Structure 1
Amino acid sequence: MRRTLVPLIENPPESPALGSVVHTLHGQTMGTSWSVKLVAEVTRRLPPLRLAIQTQLDTIVAQMSTWEPSSNLSIYNQSAAGSWHALPDEFFTVLEYALKVARASDGAYDPTAGALVNAWGFGPSQRYDESDFIPPTAQALDAARAQCGWQRIQIDSATKHVQQPGNAYIDFSAIAKGFGVDQIARELLRLGIDSFLVEVGGELRGTGVKPDGQPWWVALEHPLPDALTSAASNTAIGIETIAALYDWSAATSGDYRRYFENDATRYSHTIDPRSGEPIRHGLASVTVLHADCMAADAWSTALNVMGAEQGLAYANEHDIAALFINRSKDGFEEHLSASLLALLQ
């Protein structure tokens, strides 16, 4: 069974010029892969386009990676209490929006939760997949919690400066890939490419239409893709959801992407900043559709932390198009927000 989602658009995009074909570019970034499908008439443009894309992504890594000791973010995270830091435009844009989502979600999403991410083994060192890793002790968690709190971060929007309040460890892993998708889209449009599908680590954004006039159709992520081939009543199994990305983005936050098990307990990489522990409420994934991939990325994380009941209520109250997939004793159950239901065709 298949359902389709089509965002409402006032002016449908025109089909590309006659003779245009779809080309694919790809590469590596942020510990994952990126790919771009784009419509162009000539192949000689592809090498400079690929360089432009990789340059945008390399800039994000140089500014916002916790894995790179020399990045602007790593320098900030290691700086003295009370120090102020001038930020590059991209870094400031992401930080400002991250703090906005943290405030709006009452801390369900918190960019300062990096110490907790690290404590649970999902940061750049002492990782969960290393043989000597052990889950954090109560004392270690208390210490990590003391480093968190988006309210501690002061920014000066006029000068694009941020203060280090002391031991704050910012982590953009739940927003940087979405921002990267947006940056690629902006760069392609600047270079005269107006029909493309961008993907970075599973986060997506489409613009324009393909040579045949069709939109960029994408299948929304499912926690168990193989299950889509079987039928089951009253569950999400057997239902595939595809979306037409007419100048829209899709981002997914799921507890199945990275996790570890210890003493028969499953620990998701999605950390609830409010409790300091991995989420355990049974919500397998949340996919958000939004015009901006950075927003979809951050909000999919926030809603995933909230859980199915609170997250769905929040999405309905704030007009967020979201698909929730919850684990149940019978398999998976889906919940669609009102804004997402409005896109069904």
Structure 2
Amino acid sequence: MLYGETMGTRWRVSAVASTNVDLHLLHHDIQSRLDVVVAQMSTWEADSDICRFNRAPGGTWHVLPQAFFDVLRCALDIAEASGGAYDPTIGPLVGLWGFGANGAGHRIPEAEEIAAARARVGWRRIELRAETLSALQPGGVSLDLSAIAKGYGVDAVVMCLRERGIAAALVDVGGELRGYGHKPDGKAWHVLVESEEESDDDEPCVLVLESGKAVATSGDRWHRFEQDGRRYAHTIDPRSGRPVEHAPASVTVIADTAMQADAWATALTVMGMQDGVAFATRHGLAARFVAHAEGRIDVRATPTFPQPPAA
């Protein structure tokens, strides 16, 4: 077991490796891959590539590092597919409500402030040039990849482990997971899904993770605030400019990459229980929703979400 810190959370790798593998070197390689993600995509680092892009004048094109470009392209694809429920240009709204690196304390903004921030949000404003790995800063756009970069970090670590000849591993970065191969006993990786449910007595969701698959969970159990008896979630709906109302307590998504699972979990959270379940079912997404309704826990899963293993 190897572990460390990144992106304000912890990473952990359970690796099935031969006895001649230098674990100290492997740890260094894993941490280095994650440090690259932070250097490119963290809004908490003033000198990161994403912060430099966000500060750039309007109408300028910027050559991005390959990883940054790939994540942004995936983010824009999911923004389009989700009808804007997920939007990587949501930065101004996140900060306005007091969340993220640019938040100045939780508060309820005035309608005029929300309108002004929404005018700077819109994934369609970003243009990419694949041949030069370039992105257009149209002016005033503030990218926030926090709902996808952590997932990409998991994928980057998996790629690192495969390159180092590690036969099998389970990678966890702040609760976003991806596994490949099998445990030493030949069995598949079993993972506990973060339920975000209120009670410690709730039964956890256990998944048998198919080799190569990833799982991510979005939820507002810890990231929220209350004012005047009303709860405000940290998940902002880019379409309204306001925190999602009646958001599911958690949404778990299984996908081919942790990057995709991470972003789709956010998109489905924004859609809400009813619309999210319908959308995920219609599009074949493997998703599990948990919500609180009239004093009870409401759990729904799409047909493609795997059943828990038999006890």
Cα distance change of structure 1 residues 113 and 221 upon mapping to structure 2, 3 Å threshold: same
Gaps of 5+ in 1: 1-23, 230-236
Determine the structure 2 residue equivalent to 1:5. Answer: none
State the shift of 1:261 in Å: 1.0
- d(CA) in 2 for partners of 1:92, 1:240: 34
Cα distance change of structure 1 residues 304 and 40 upon mapping to structure 2, 3 Å threshold: same
Determine the structure 1 residue equivalent to 2:226. Answer: 261
Q: 2:132 aligns with which of 139, 159, 181?
A: 159
Determine the structure 2 residue equivalent to 1:148. Answer: 121
Determine the structure 2 residue equivalent to 1:305. Answer: 270
Determine the structure 2 residue equivalent to 1:103. Answer: 80
2:254 is paired with a residue whose SS is strand
8 Å CA contact retained: 1:185, 1:198: yes
8 Å CA contact retained: 1:62, 1:71: yes
State the shift of 1:282 in Å: 4.0
8 Å CA contact retained: 1:36, 1:198: yes
8 Å CA contact retained: 1:86, 1:160: yes
**Alignment deviations for residues 265-321 of structure 1 (CA, whole Å, 9 cap, x no partner):** 111111100001111124111100112100000001001100111111111111100
**Alignment deviations for residues 79-99 of structure 1 (CA, whole Å, 9 cap, x no partner):** 100000001100000000000
- d(CA) in 2 for partners of 1:85, 1:181: 26
Aligned positions, number? 310
Whichever residue aligns with residue 322 of structure 1, its letter is A
State the shift of 1:257 in Å: 3.4
Whichever residue aligns with residue 168 of structure 2, its letter is S
State the shift of 1:259 in Å: 0.8
1:173 is paired with a residue whose SS is coil
- d(CA) in 2 for partners of 1:296, 1:289: 6
- d(CA) in 1 for partners of 2:109, 2:102: 14
8 Å CA contact retained: 2:246, 2:272: yes
- d(CA) in 2 for partners of 1:89, 1:149: 23
8 Å CA contact retained: 1:26, 1:33: yes
1:187 is paired with a residue whose SS is helix
Q: TM-score, normalised by structure 2?
A: 0.95
Cα distance change of structure 1 residues 262 and 43 upon mapping to structure 2, 3 Å threshold: farther
Sequence identity percentage: 45
Q: 2:261 aligns with which of 296, 302, 314?
A: 296
Whichever residue aligns with residue 15 of structure 2, its letter is L
- d(CA) in 1 for partners of 2:234, 2:198: 20
Cα distance change of structure 1 residues 88 and 240 upon mapping to structure 2, 3 Å threshold: closer
Whichever residue aligns with residue 193 of structure 1, its letter is I
2:119 is paired with a residue whose SS is helix
**Alignment deviations for residues 19-48 of structure 1 (CA, whole Å, 9 cap, x no partner):** xxxxx1111111111111111232751111
Determine the structure 2 residue equivalent to 1:276. Answer: 241
Equivalent positions of 1:1-345 (< 5 A) are 24-42=1-19, 45-128=22-105, 133-224=106-197, 226-227=199-200, 229=201, 237-238=202-203, 240-340=205-305
Q: TM-score, normalised by structure 1?
A: 0.86
Whichever residue aligns with residue 170 of structure 1, its letter is L
Whichever residue aligns with residue 339 of structure 1, its letter is T
Between Structure 1 and Structure 2, whose CA radius of gyration is higher? Answer: 1
Q: Bigger relative contact order, structure 1 or 2, given CA contacts below 8 A and separation 6+?
A: 1
- d(CA) in 2 for partners of 1:341, 1:201: 22
8 Å CA contact retained: 1:219, 1:243: no
1:73 is paired with a residue whose SS is helix
- d(CA) in 2 for partners of 1:108, 1:136: 21
Gaps of 5+ in 2: none
8 Å CA contact retained: 1:220, 1:243: no
2:22 is paired with a residue whose SS is helix
8 Å CA contact retained: 1:282, 1:327: no
State the shift of 1:139 in Å: 2.2
State the shift of 1:226 in Å: 4.3
